[in-house]
Amino acid sequence: MTTLDFLKAKKENKKISMITCYDSTFAGIVNESDIDSILIGDSCAMTMHGEKSTVPAQMDWMVEHTRSVRNGAPDKFILADMPFLTTRKGLEYATDCAGRLLVAGANAVKIEGVFGQEDILKHLVLSGIPVMAHLGLTPQFYNAFGGHKMQGKTEEAAAKIIEEAKIAESIGCFGLLLECIPAELAKKITESVSIPTIGIGAGVDCDGQVLVLQDMLGMSGFKMRFVRQYLNGRELIKGAFNAYAADVADSAFPAGDEIK
């Protein structure tokens, strides 16, 4: 898959699937699956580093997770997040950070918000760095929003998100990620732009969907309203851990061929 395939998929009404991933082991499994694309989300701060929000995500972490995932998934389209404030410190710093992600193996970067950083988005696009704009609930605004809350609920808030979507399209972004906005608003945006929308908690009318790997595999220990769990991963893995611990305790492991 390439950025051109994202646009083609929208034209042909073909839905795009995306999953987050942060390490080469899971990336290897995604690589063998039918999922179209991978997001190295700054959600790694929460899923891999135990933080409460994405705000603490470090640029160096993003580079290492991107390299690891690319090593495990050589065939997949990889989108990598620009972490907190990396696009708010000027053109040169943003370009360096985005460049590091592409050198580490990403095909494109995702940037939260449009207002106030239009020149940076445009510069990256013109530099050959495909950009997806993340709108709605932008988790890096966790402190400003007062938590992870649905956005775009009032007419005024919805109009601002629509405006950002149109600007992102005119700048040359190849796609939009719409997080936690009313389904009706996501539908309206999807129908009014020529670039594909990937939704999470934004209804079924987006051009594609993304889920956090740990959430969809039931490993997070909690379930958000909009997540579908395809596995009870936490219980299954815990069961395997407990079986191993019991075998060690009973001297049942190693045994037979495992000893030779």
Q: Please report whether residue 177 would count as binding ligand KIV according to CB under 6 A.
A: yes
Asked whether the beta carbons of 107 and 65 are under 8 A apart, the reply is no
Structure tokens at 140: 């890096």
Query: Please, which residues bridge with residue 176 across strands?
Result: 133, 197
The DSSP H or E segment spanning 178 is strand 175-179
Q: Please report whether residue 20 would count as binding ligand KIV according to CB under 6 A.
A: yes
Q: Please report whether residue 81 would count as binding ligand KIV according to CB under 6 A.
A: yes
In this structure, is the dihedral angle defined by the CA atoms of residues 179, 81, 20 and 56, taken in order, positive or negative? negative
In this structure, is the dihedral angle defined by the CA atoms of residues 51, 23, 223 and 84, taken in order, positive or negative? positive
**184 an active-site residue?**
no
Q: Count residues contacting ligand KIV (CB under 6 A)?
A: 12
What is the Cβ-side half-sphere exposure of residue 33, based on CA atoms within 13 angstroms?
15
Q: Please report whether residue 200 would count as binding ligand KIV according to CB under 6 A.
A: yes
Q: Which is nearer to ligand KIV, 1 or 48 (CB)?
A: 48
**Catalytic one of 179, 191, 235, 258:** 179
Least distance to ligand KIV, CB of residue 22, Å:
9
b/e 168-187 (16+ beta carbons within 10 angstroms → b): bbebebbbbbbbbbbbebbb
Q: Which is nearer to ligand KIV, 157 or 227 (CB)?
A: 227
Residue type, 23: D
Q: Which is nearer to ligand KIV, 16 or 210 (CB)?
A: 210
Site for ligand KIV in 204-233 (CB under 6 A): 210, 212
Least distance to ligand KIV, CB of residue 42, Å:
5
Stretch that binds ligand KIV, among 37-45, 91-99, 122-130, 182-190 (CB under 6 A): 37-45
Interface residues with ligand KIV (CB under 6 A) are: 20, 39, 41-43, 54, 81, 177, 179, 200, 210, 212
Residues annotated as part of the active site? 179
